[in-house]
């Protein structure tokens, strides 16, 4: 099973989501940004690296948020999500076709990658509490 990270980046009550490009696996699906954990790397280090590569920003990784395990046609992944905070820079998508800031209740309006859906549900449940 491959470990993959996801940033739950919340600012001003809105959450960052990113849309995959047409030529990507899961084309046009929305996701929480992140990526594969490299050998010898912690999930937190991975998120910092991925956010730098994907958006040219520096982030602080906060508390663990939750996980999702999903089996795609190429294998199983464990998606590890962390609350993440923008420290430095302006988000400029390098690998995604589009980014949006959305409220928790609006997350359901987007077509998310399957592994991200349990995280969407958890975010929406927390909003109701």
Residue 126: is its pLDDT beyond 90? no
Residue 127: is its pLDDT beyond 70? no
Residue 27: is its pLDDT beyond 90? no
Cα–Cα distance measured from residue 54 to residue 16, given in angstroms and rounded to the nearest whole number? 13
Q: Which residue has the higher pLDDT, 23 or 8?
A: 8
What are the extents of the domains in the chain? 2-128
88-111 pLDDT per residue, tens:
999 999 988 999 999 999 999 999
Residue 46: is its pLDDT beyond 80? yes
- What CATH architecture does domain 2-128 belong to? Alpha-Beta Complex (3.90)
Residue 73: is its pLDDT beyond 90? no
Cα–Cα distance measured from residue 82 to residue 118, given in angstroms and rounded to the nearest whole number? 14
CA distances from 34 to 19, 81, 90, 124, 125 (A): 12, 9, 17, 20, 22
Residue pointed to by tokens 């509490």: 129
């Amino acid at each position: 099973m491959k470990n993959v990270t996801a940033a739950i980046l919340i600012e001003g009550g809105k959450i960052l989501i990113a849309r995959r490009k047409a030529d990507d696996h899961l084309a046009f699906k929305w996701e929480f940004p992140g990526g594969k954990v490299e050998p010898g790397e912690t999930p937190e280090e991975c998120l910092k690296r991925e956010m730098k590569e994907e958006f040219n920003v520096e982030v602080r990784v906060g508390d663990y948020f939750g996980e999702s395990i999903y089996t795609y046609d190429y294998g199983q992944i464990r998606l590890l999500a962390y609350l993440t905070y923008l420290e430095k820079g302006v988000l400029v998508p390098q690998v995604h076709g589009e980014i949006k800031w959305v409220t928790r209740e609006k997350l359901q309006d987007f077509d998310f990658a399957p592994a991200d859906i349990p995280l969407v549900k958890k975010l929406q449940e927390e909003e109701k509490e």
